Chains A and B, each alone.
Chain A
Amino acid sequence: MAAAAASTPQGVAERRGIPAAAFVEDVEAYLRQAGLDVNSALAFLQERLQQYKIVEMKLLAQQRDLQAKIPDIEKCLDIVAALQAKKALGEALIADFELSEGIYSRAKIEDTDSVCLWLGANVMLEYSCDEANALLKKNLGNAKASLEVLVADLQFLRDQQTITQVTIARVFNWDVHQRRSKQAVKET
């Protein structure tokens, strides 16, 4: 019988700190090897499921942050492109912006070579338009790459949750089957 420990023929043993759920080939062998009775096994598996859920919450929050960040960076790139286009035409850019809730003001941006980028942590730096473009593109690339990795993490995590749920159901069914067989034997 195949061992109950996480084995390589069935994928990786863990991914970036998330342990893989061991696939159980045979319920009886699994229980015997782990030395657990049914209730302890079920409790252990339920706890594992809870832990997976907690990690899932954390990853989902990170995913939401990244998904909000990406359109922001794209908007910044649009503005820098608009400024550069106006500069090429030799015209000033006139824009209406929100001064306060419901109050707008007009700005005339003339012949600009540089923009200021908010870097976070109360820090704003002045960059030339070209430098700003490069930095923003790099940040956008990083954010998209991080999002891809995160999505893959979430898929892996959900797979482990599914495996654990199926294992719980199988252990439970096996137990029911055992009880019924014992009952049937008693009655003969």
Chain B
Amino acid sequence: MQQGDGTEAQVTWEDQQNINRFGRLNNRLHELQDEIKLAKEANENLDDAGNELILSDEDVVRFQIGEVFAHMPRDDVETRLEQMKEDAAKKLERLEEEKESILAQMAELKKILYGKFKDAINLEED
């Protein structure tokens, strides 16, 4: 809250709850941005792996499970990779959707809070 001239609106419990909700959404937004970055990287890695697999012509592929590289037949690896790519794509989609929802909720709260407090409150990213 900035310095006021004494005629600014009083903060009610409802206002405080709105401010709290905005804070929570903002935190979640930052977390999501990091998670989305990781998910995008994972998707890219899986695509690269798929491409490498197509280029190589070995029958036995070393597939990483945990900390070891298990020898697996090429077809099995292809199947697993497809499944992993699908899961990763779905996860990224889910994260992007959550981000859109949060941005919308934050915009709504900004309208309400700026409406009441005008420039006595600052809700922008510093």
| A interface residues (Cβ-Cβ under 8 A, vs B) | 9-10, 23, 25-26, 75-76, 78-79, 82, 93-98, 104, 107, 155, 158-159, 162-163, 166, 169-170, 172-173, 176-177, 180-181
Contacts and interface: CB of A to CB of B under 8 A. Distances in A.
Interface stretch (B11-19, B43-51, B92-100, B104-112): B11-19
B62 A170 contact: no
Nearest to B120: A173
Contact of A93 (B23, B67, B70): B70
A82 B69 CA distance: 11
Contacts of A75: 65-67
B8 interface: yes
A176 B70 contact: no
B84 to A, nearest CB: 11
A179 B65 CA distance: 69
Given A10-B13, A23-B13, A177-B6, A162 B23 contact: yes
B1 A25 contact: no
28 contacts: A23-B16, A25-B12, A75-B67, A76-B66, A79-B65, A82-B70, A93-B71, A94-B71, A95-B65, A95-B70, A96-B71, A97-B68, A104-B69, A155-B24, A158-B20, A158-B23, A159-B24, A162-B16, A163-B20, A166-B1, A166-B16, A170-B1, A172-B3, A173-B6, A173-B8, A176-B4, A176-B6, A177-B5
